[in-house]
Amino acid sequence: MEDVHPNLEPTQLLPEQGELLLLIRRIGASRHFRRAQRLRSFLEFVCQQTLAGNAGSLHEQLIGERVFRRPEDYDPAVDNIVRVEARELRKRLEAYFADEGAGEPIVIRVPKGGYIPVFETSSMTPAVLPSDATGHGAAPPLNRGGDHRFLIAALATLVMLLAGLNVYQRLRPIEARGAQPANDALPPLLAAFWSRVFEAGGPTLLCLADSNLSLLQDLRGESISFTDYTSGRYFASLQDQASNAEAGHVLPEIASRYYTSIADASTLARLMMLNRNQGPVEIRFARDLNIRDLKSRNAILLGSSRSNPWVGLLDKKRRFRIEHNTALNRAFLSDSSPESGKPSVYMSGPPGERPYDAYGIVATVRNLDGTGHAILISGTNMQGTEAAGEFLTNVATFHAFLKQIGWHPDLPLPVFEVVLQLVTVGGSSTSSRILAYDVPEG
């Protein structure tokens, strides 16, 4: 495909891909894109493909299939959805960089005549951020006599923001340490397993948990239903439900952000290391999924059903699940078929208790239409999730497990559940072990 912007100097293309990914998230969380899921998916897809070196494949047919779920044989001359949405995407990008993104050092455009995004350095001097560093103006002062939970919420949001800004710096050393070899250096058993997961017919879906959702449920002492989450009703109603002016400002602000945990970021990095020589991957946020995404292809979902409600659609027949006790505000591990003398519930210790137990689960299940598999990675807390991700992507531990259950490359991908128990002191895991596992028949 001919370069749609041949005059762009190489020096104008942007530095670290991590900074671009953060910019794309900010755009998606802005008021111009917050309620436009299809446009967010459009922007994320073309940017991801360009950053991955696949800009030459960004044609109308591919975008229609991957982003707008059109059938492979659809006719773009008859169905012009890509062109219509591209016009709207260009307008909203222009509006974002003229408004909330006026101080961004990088500008993203999608020039007319093609769908390849262009990343340019801004000609403007970066604006001074307002005191709340959100781009929405300074927050009104909190009433000292008000509900301190919302001050905690605001601080928690800031912590997640800082965690997001540090994700890229934390991920880079994973590759430098050589924690995971490239796929062609894996033992044959593992290479066969991961080549099935990241099959060339993909793209394999990799879904990150919605950390804001967990925070909102904890603050409000409630559990959000799958329907309220996926329909967007819960987030839309937050301001109306707020009990005072402070909550009315803070809760919608938290809900509008797209943050995940360091555990998810670490697991994502490990998985991408394993996928170096395999098929395409589509990285999505839990809030942007729809039910079609969990059909007809493989998927990897991070988080328990409390932070990623889509997990609840896939784990109904599982023996082990991460659940939440709202009254105690504590996560726990449940076993629906405990062995004789074993408990059916393993409660996590409260944070601050030393030591306390945490649990992680890795499970493979069939996807919704039975044509592929989903891998679920979850934990009773962040350490549990990270331990589950490390178990799955660690050459020694996962290779030993696959041999233990008797899987070999001539068989379909195995369906299994593994429960890890961690002893944690001061927020760091001191040891972990396989507490139990299950390989259902058939």
pLDDT above 90 covers a percentage of the chain that reads 29
Q: What pLDDT sits at residue 347?
A: 83
Q: For residue 34, give every residue at least 6 positions away whose Cβ sits within 8 Å of its Cβ, in sequence order, or none.
A: 28, 256
CA proximity to 302, closest of 207, 167, 379: 207
Mean pLDDT across the stretch 153-160?
Answer: 43
pTM above 0.85, yes or no: no
Looking at residue 8, what is its pLDDT?
29
Binned at pLDDT 50, 70 and 90, residue 193 comes out as very high
Residues 74 and 160 in one domain: no
What pLDDT score was predicted for residue 430?
54
| Phi/psi of residue 107, nearest 5 degrees | -120, 135
The answer to whether residue 324 is domain-embedded is: yes
User: DSSP letters along 3-60, please?
Assistant: -S-TT--GGGS-S-HHHHHHHHHHHHHSTTTTT-HHHHHHHHHHHHHHHTT-GGG--H
pLDDT, position 73: 84
Residue 250 is predicted with a pLDDT of 74
Whether residue 174 contacts residue 266, with contact meaning beta carbons closer than 8 Å, is answered with yes
Residue from 354, 309, 315, 352 nearest 333 by CA: 315
In a domain, 78, yes or no: yes
**57 found inside a domain:** yes
Are the beta carbons of 134 and 253 closer than 8 angstroms?
yes
**Position 139 confidence tier, pLDDT thresholds 50, 70, 90:** very low
- The verdict on 179 and 57 lying in the same domain is no
The most confident of 25-39, 277-291, 397-411, by mean pLDDT:
397-411
Q: pLDDT per residue over 37-59, tens digit each?
A: 899 999 989 988 888 777 878 88
Neighbours of 246 (CB within 10 A): 22
Give yes or no for residue 299 having a pLDDT over 90: yes
Q: Looking at the structure, tell me whether residues 109 and 169 fall in a common domain.
A: no
DSSP state of 243: S
| 305 and 193 part of one domain | yes
Angle ∠(313,316,318) on CA atoms, nearest 5: 125
| Better pLDDT: 422 or 86 | 86
Quote the domain boundaries for residue 107.
10-121
**Is there a single domain that holds both residue 205 and residue 316?**
yes
How far apart (Å, rounded) are the C-alpha atoms in residues 434 and 120? 49
Q: Is 316 part of any domain?
A: yes
How far is 130 from 341, CA to CA, in rounded Å?
A: 59
Q: What is the percent of the chain where pLDDT is above 70?
A: 74
pLDDT, average across residues 53-81: 87
- In this prediction, residues 98-120 reach a mean pLDDT of 87
Give pLDDT, residue 354.
53
Q: Please state, as a whole number, how many other Cβ atoms lie within 10 Å of the Cβ of residue 354.
A: 10
User: Alpha helices of 148-261 — where are they, by DSSP H?
Assistant: 149-176, 188-197, 211-220, 226-231, 233-241, 245-256
Confidence of residue 234 (pLDDT cuts 50, 70, 90): confident
27 with 80, same domain: the answer is yes
Average pLDDT over residues 415-435: 77
- Residue 274: per-residue pLDDT: 84
Domain co-membership, 417 together with 287: yes
pLDDT tens figures, 161-189:
444 434 333 333 333 333 445 555 789 99
Residue 408 lies in a domain: yes
**Domain termination residue (choose one: 81, 105, 121):** 121
CA distance 83 to 98: 23
Task: State pLDDT tens for residues 300-356.
Answer: 999 999 999 999 888 778 899 999 887 777 889 999 999 888 889 988 766 555 556
Q: Using 50, 70 and 90 to split pLDDT, how confident is the model at 148?
A: very low
How does pLDDT run across 257-268, given as a tens digit for each residue?
788 888 888 898
Q: Check residue 210 and give its pLDDT.
A: 92
User: Does any domain span residue 233?
Assistant: no
> Are residues 192 and 96 part of one domain?
no
Q: Which of 96-110, 229-243, 369-383 has the lowest mean pLDDT?
A: 229-243
pLDDT band at 154 (very low <50, low <70, confident <90, very high): very low
Q: Does residue 231 lie within any of the structural domains?
A: no
Residue 165 and residue 105 share a domain: no
Amino acid residing at 245? A
- Does residue 311 share a domain with residue 169? yes
Distance of CA 266 to the CA centre of its chain: 11
How many domains are contained in the chain?
A: 2
Say whether both 28 and 115 belong to one domain: yes
Greater pLDDT, 124 or 406: 406
In a domain? residue 137: no
pLDDT grade, residue 244 (50/70/90)?
low
Last residue of a domain, one of 73, 99, 121: 121
More reliable by pLDDT, 428 or 335: 335
Verify that 358 and 269 share a domain, yes or no.
yes
The DSSP element (H or E) to which 419 belongs, if any, is strand 417-425
The per-residue pLDDT for 14 is: 40
> Residue for token digits 């591919």?
62
Q: Which whole number is the average pLDDT over 394-418? A: 93
